[in-house]
Chain A
Amino acid sequence: MATEQGYALPPGFSLRETRADGSQEYFLNMGPQHPSTHGVLKLVVRLDGETVIEVVPHLGFIHRAIEKMGENETFVQYIHLTDRMDYLSSHINNLCVCLAIEKAMGIGVPERGEYIRVMVSELQRIQSHLLWWGAFGMDLGAVSAFLYGFKEREKITALFEELCGARLTMNFFRPGGSNADVPENFLARVKEILEELKFSLDEFEVLLTKNPIIRERTLGVGALSRERAINYGCSGPVGRASGIDFDVRKHDPYSVYDRFQFDVPLGKNGDCYDRYMVRMQEMRESIRILAQAMAGFPEGQYRSKEKASYKVPAGSYYANVETARGLYATYMVSDNSFKPYRIKSRSPNFSNLSAINEMSRGGKIADLVAILSTLDLIIPDIDR
């Protein structure tokens, strides 16, 4: 590693330059304790005044070796560890593991179970986007938005608490369905929440979307072209904002997503504004899916017959889902035992984060905050 004046350069950086007029570039450590990195992410930023020249993310502050732990747990036990990766999409992560196990063992899911899965997944997506909306407002300085977002999210969280007893680490889905049936008043509650949510979303549009300050701060900031987004492996709202028409729900439908009518919102420029708009639109699309699911919610069993033990036949299995942040996939290798030989998660956040250097180059520090916010990173999912 190159050194300069006895100091080691942060890894990943080129040498800082001194200009002809004697002014110097400098390095700024953003994080791991910083209000807008939303967790223990460290960004080493090379700055020229306030202008960002280079950003190098440092990971691993919350690495817990979840994939290695998975090798010592049974397949069903592994489900609850995925809660702790992307904790805002825990239902959807659980679903992904269940899908892989079902595929491996040929387990079917009853109609009602599938509908529960879709509904809960979509509620989780809305809940995650609401929290993102609030955090986005706070990162850009509108602190009230943070509380409004949380206020709406709380309603869905309370519903999840009734559904599975937990608010964050759900561990609700099981191979063949779910842990339990929905509570009696579930549909009525969902309907009520959606009505309130529609009103709140309109309020949110007035508060932030139409605000000229937000527009100024997001339009054209952190643009990522479609080609670069594909190269970085961006998925979810980040990829779709760049114009990648890819949504697992649409293009590789799992569960019963192929029965529902919904659009995949696409952006054009891949800037912060597009990422913002795509997420706002996705919440409305999720409401559409939920309305259709509620209309066709069938009676019957919520889970196919439970097996005494889940012994997965030898082979490798892959399942992917669309979490609130993008393509989440589980790849597992079994050697015909109760425990996976190797289990691997593909997390959307890791790929999305990799684009940050390209996005934020040439912007201001404030732009870097806006970009971080619209990437909607969950750090435990990056480190696992």
Chain B
Amino acid sequence: MNEMQFLTWVRGTGLNIAVGIFLLGVIWRLIEIYSLGRKKDLSAPRNVPGASGWHTVFRRSMPPKDMGMVKKSPVSYIGGYVFHIGLAVVVFLFAPHIKFIESVVGLSWPGLPSQFVDLVAVITIAAMVVVLADRINKPVKRYLSTFEDWFTWTVTFLPVLTGWMAVQHLLLPYTTMLALHILSVEILLVVLPFTKLFHAFTVWGSRYYNGAVNGHKGVAV
């Protein structure tokens, strides 16, 4: 297989397989999780404005008020915000990505200038390296970490790195790097529903449940 054949495969068959596993995986996992249901709370509720599942879905995007958590774990918060927002910008606002999505599903939206996205990619890569270093350095994070944590970091990092390198024409010929980039995204798609990366989907449900359970008591968490 030469590099063109490789690129053709990842753009065709490879992509179909990856997207198929991703979609079926997401649906399967969502059913597997949420069909377990929960019991109705029979205690009399205390209604307080701001205490509900929906409030917590949004509120929890910010650090908790007055608890000094950002100071206690600055890398988790700042690094976390930077790489999540960075990933979103790079994935959804880079013009070639939008073109690609348009070619697949027919939807498109305005992108950002490529130099800007390039800068965001570099910042995202840096932030991901910093959060990795923090995971190695901080006793609690190291203690909690399993193979899955290192593995999911890697499969998230590779698409960003290979994408940036392809755009910069670094290390390998563009075609090969682009094919590797697409392949790394496909690996990410396949892995996502079955690892902690699935938090991208369950985070909303988790926040909702926490907010609803505590909101029932009139506590805005």
Q: Do A and B bind each other?
A: no
